Amino acid sequence: MRRLLALVGIAAVAGLQLAGGAIAQQAYPTRAVRFILPFNPASASDITARLFADRLSARWGKPVVVENRPGGDGIVSIQAFVAAKDDHTLWFGPAGIFTVQPYDHDTLPYDSKRDLIPVVSVSDVVLAVSVPASLNIDTLDQLVALAKAQPGKLNAAAATGISDFALFGWIKNMDLQIVKVPYRDIMQAPNDLAEGRIQVLGTSFAVVQPLLRAGKIKVLAVTSRKRFPAAPEIPTAAEAGYPALTFESVGGLFGPPGMGQDLRQGIAADFRAVSADPIIPQRLTDIGTIMDIQGPTEFAAAVQEQRDKIADIAKVLGVKAAVQ
């Protein structure tokens, strides 16, 4: 009887070893991986995705394809990702695309909390508040004083999404009478700012950087928690005395529902490994972003923090969330 039990035990251990070996061999990925993006080629997200895709392809031994699906305020790309229902098809972009969408649309064809699962944060887009050089002001304090001295005389614009919420939520909280100017194409706004047709602009630092270098505009502050290494002379909003204007545009890779924690942590570890290439952080700085590799738990917390902050601003602005 003891011999029989021993044989059964040996067989069980052997079976576990075989199963463990089979599991170990099921490495990710087993085929090509797709990163679906909400932006056009040559955008900051596109450049970032391709930097990592090239190195991950070499590390994984499988192709990593970047697929641009612009349009519909990012909805087109997310719909394509959700429809795939595949852990080899992932969504790559800033969380602000879908955390703001509920306040820009009456209904949405998906639930971002359910359908987009944080895998790894990759970079933060640096956001900036800028004014024309001709306005002759250098600080947020001076902007506030000017707006209060000339109510309704200043015009402002912001890129759709995080920049819009951050800037106009702050303007509302400060009770400033600044007129919002809508743009069909926000890329026209920096030139209008330089020419003095608008007086305040909230957008990514990268968009205004050429005009800053040309001396045509001034960046009063960045909204990130830390100063941007490429422009260390520019204070953060908190350093300028306005912590309510602090807003970080976190972004990275998202997977489908049911994507396990172990797999997500493994992918995050691979991102961290390839990010050791010094070319990557330097290139990201060049395009106005800061590399920030964080695992799924930390990334999920950052996305939720952004959701909560946007919800608070929406209340201030009197905007209701869409039905999902």
The predicted pLDDT at position 181 comes to 97
Whether residue 273 is predicted with pLDDT greater than 70 in this model: the reply is: yes
Same fold, 33-123+250-317 and 127-223: yes
- Residue 313, pLDDT above cutoff 60: yes
pLDDT (tens digit per residue) in 19-74:
333 333 358 999 999 999 999 999 999 999 999 999 999 999 999 999 999 999 89
pLDDT at residue 12 in the model: 42
Give pTM, 2 decimals: 0.86
For domain 33-123+250-317, the question of CATH label 3.40.190.150 is answered with yes
pLDDT reported for residue 185: 87
Across the range 209-219, mean pLDDT stands at 96
Q: Describe the strand order of the beta sheet including 33-37 as a list of residue ranges.
A: 64-68, 33-37, 89-94, 249-255, 117-125, 289-294
254 neighbors 118 (Cβ within 8 angstroms)? yes
For 2-19, the pLDDT digits (tens) are 444 444 444 444 443 333
Closest CA to 45 of 278, 206, 208: 206
Q: What is the DSSP string of 161-213?
A: THHHHHHHHHHHHTT--EEE---SSGGGHHHHHHTTSSSEEEEEHHHHHHHHH
User: Is there a contact between 148 and 176 (Cβ–Cβ < 8 Å)?
Assistant: yes
Quote the pLDDT of residue 8: 40
Report pLDDT for 24: 34
Describe the crossing of helices 162-173 and 296-317 by its angle, rounded to 10 degrees.
50
Write the pLDDT tens digit of every residue in 157-212: 999 889 999 999 999 999 999 999 999 888 899 999 999 999 999 999 999 999 99
Q: Where are the domains of the chain?
A: 33-123+250-317, 127-223
Amino acid 56: pLDDT: 98
* Three-class secondary structure of residue 138 per DSSP: coil
- pLDDT tens-digit series, residues 83-131: 999 999 999 999 999 999 999 888 999 999 999 999 999 999 999 999 9
Whole-number pLDDT of residue 57: 98
Given this model, what pLDDT does residue 324 score?
60
Backbone angles phi, psi at 257, to 5 degrees: -60, 145
Task: Please give the CATH topology (third level) of the domain spanning 127-223.
Answer: D-Maltodextrin-Binding Protein; domain 2 (3.40.190)
User: At residue 233, does pLDDT exceed 60?
Assistant: yes
